[in-house]
């Protein structure tokens, strides 16, 4: 399993040697990039995009252009498409159905692959209940995308449910796909480690901010942006007995 530490501190890409997960929203305004010292994957920022605007305002052409700039750093492993999440409150924003979001997610993936075949876009499954995800899997097949052949298949709309029985059941029914869990937290990682090929998490920052954590020796008031705290949190995850052999 490949564990990507989520970060909003993009300069870590030139500082650490562990896999990182970074949102395009953190990279888009930067003009110059140094060579990356670590492997990394790109999040499209879709959750924020749909929650803010109720639609994608970033065009496919703009997204492709941005990724071509970002990949100058090297070591880009894969990038998420401009997928459509299916949380009920997101559907209220977009005024669309789960089926609409699934259709738009596949359309975007196919379009991005057609326009930029050299970029490592990965397919993402979306839905709300188990039947939704199975239906979306079948829709990919009908569109000519054989998910079993992909090294990474993202699972969307589970980050807020990844520590629930429903979240685990969704991961189970999607076996044997090489699943990537977006935005997993400690409990979700512990419970679902054997069902995932990879995962990312920014939970360390939320924990530090919510609990006002300040490590000994740190001069900032909270460690929400602290590399020292992030690496310590990551070490705890990787040392979890249930995950030890895997990581």
244 found inside a domain? no
97 found inside a domain? yes
| Intervals of the chain under pLDDT 70 | 162-163, 210-217, 240-247
Residue 7 has φ and ψ, to the nearest 5°, of -150, 145
What is the rounded distance in angstroms from the CA atom of residue 55 to the CA atom of residue 94? 6
Residue 79 maps to which CATH number? 3.20.20.105
Task: Classify strands 2-6 and 153-155 as parallel, antiparallel or unpaired.
Answer: unpaired
62 found inside a domain? yes
pLDDT for the residue 186: 79
Sequential DSSP letters for 19-71: -EEEEHHHHTT----PPPSS-EEEE--HHHHHHHHSS--S-HHHHHHHHHHHG
112 found inside a domain? yes
- Nearest partner of 182 among 65, 78, 29, judged by Cα: 78
246 found inside a domain? no
What is the rounded distance in angstroms from the CA atom of residue 33 to the CA atom of residue 13? 10
The total domain count for the chain is 1
What is the rounded distance in angstroms from the CA atom of residue 82 to the CA atom of residue 50? 10
Q: How far lies 129's CA from each of 156, 161, 170, in Å?
A: 12, 11, 8
103 found inside a domain? yes
Task: Judge whether 208 and 229 are in contact, CB under 8 Å.
Answer: yes
Tell me the three state secondary structure of residue 153.
strand
43 found inside a domain? yes
pLDDT for the residue 129: 93
pLDDT for the residue 163: 64
Residues 6+ apart with CB under 8 A from 189: 3, 181, 199, 201, 237, 240, 243
pLDDT for the residue 211: 64
Residues 6+ apart with CB under 8 A from 235: none
What is the rounded distance in angstroms from the CA atom of residue 215 to the CA atom of residue 223? 7
211 found inside a domain? yes
Q: Which domain holds residue 69?
A: 2-238
Alpha helices in the chain (DSSP H): 24-27, 46-53, 60-70, 88-94, 98-115, 130-142, 165-173, 186-192, 203-210, 227-238
């Amino acid at each position: 399993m490949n564990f990507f530490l989520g970060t909003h501190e993009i300069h870590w890409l030139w500082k650490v040697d562990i896999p990182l997960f970074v949102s395009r929203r953190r990279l888009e305004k930067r003009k110059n990039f140094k060579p990356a010292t670590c492997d990394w994957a790109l999040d499209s920022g879709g959750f924020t995009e749909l929650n803010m605007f109720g639609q994608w305002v970033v065009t496919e052409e703009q997204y492709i252009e941005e990724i071509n700039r970002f990949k100058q750093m090297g070591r880009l492993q894969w990038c998420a498409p401009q997928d459509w999440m299916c949380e009920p409150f997101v559907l209220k924003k977009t005024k669309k159905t789960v089926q609409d979001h699934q259709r738009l997610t596949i359309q975007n993936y196919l379009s991005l692959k057609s326009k930029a075949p050299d970029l490592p876009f990965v397919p993402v499954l979306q839905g709300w209940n188990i039947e939704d995800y199975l239906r979306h899997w079948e829709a990919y097949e009908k569109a000519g995308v054989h998910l079993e052949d992909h090294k990474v298949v993202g699972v969307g709309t589970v980050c807020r449910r990844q520590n629930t029985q429903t979240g685990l059941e969704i991961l189970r029914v999607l076996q044997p796909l090489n699943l990537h869990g977006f935005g997993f937290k400690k409990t979700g990682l512990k419970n679902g480690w054997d069902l995932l090929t990879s995962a990312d998490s920014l939970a360390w920052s939320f924990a530090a901010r919510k609990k006002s954590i300040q490590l000994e020796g740190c001069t900032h008031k909270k460690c929400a942006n602290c590399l020292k705290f992030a690496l310590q949190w990551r070490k705890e995850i990787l040392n979890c007995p249930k995950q030890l052999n895997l990581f």
